[in-house]
């Protein structure tokens, strides 16, 4: 296993945990875990806040990075 393989695996793990965390923090119809961190008051008072929009953008970027890293791993890592 080369250094590039190890870096890609560590990055994949970190991005996967990041995507899971960001999706869970989003407030859904019922509130979600973001209510636990104080996001429920702002979301119910103002609809879609700036904080929620930024969270959406960050989630999309981390999700795209996860996808690109997956493709990179498929091209770079030798299956043998």
Which pLDDT tens digit goes with each residue over 11-45? 999 999 999 999 998 866 655 555 566 555 554 55
User: If pLDDT is split at 50, 70 and 90, which confidence band does 49 have?
Assistant: confident
Contact (CB, 8 A) for 19 and 65 = no
Q: What does the block give as tokens for 73? A: 């791993």
The pLDDT value given to residue 48 = 64
Q: Is 26 exposed, middle or buried (0-12, 13-18, 19+ CB in 10 A)?
A: middle
Domain map of the chain by residue range?
3-76
């Amino acid at each position: 296993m080369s250094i590039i393989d190890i870096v890609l695996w560590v990055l994949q793990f970190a991005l996967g945990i990041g995507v899971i965390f960001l999706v869970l923090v989003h407030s859904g119809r019922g509130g979600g875990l973001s209510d636990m961190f104080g996001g429920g008051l702002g979301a119910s008072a103002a609809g879609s806040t700036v904080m929620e929009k930024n969270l959406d953008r960050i989630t999309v970027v981390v999700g795209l990075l996860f996808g690109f890293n997956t493709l990179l791993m498929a091209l770079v890592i030798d299956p043998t």
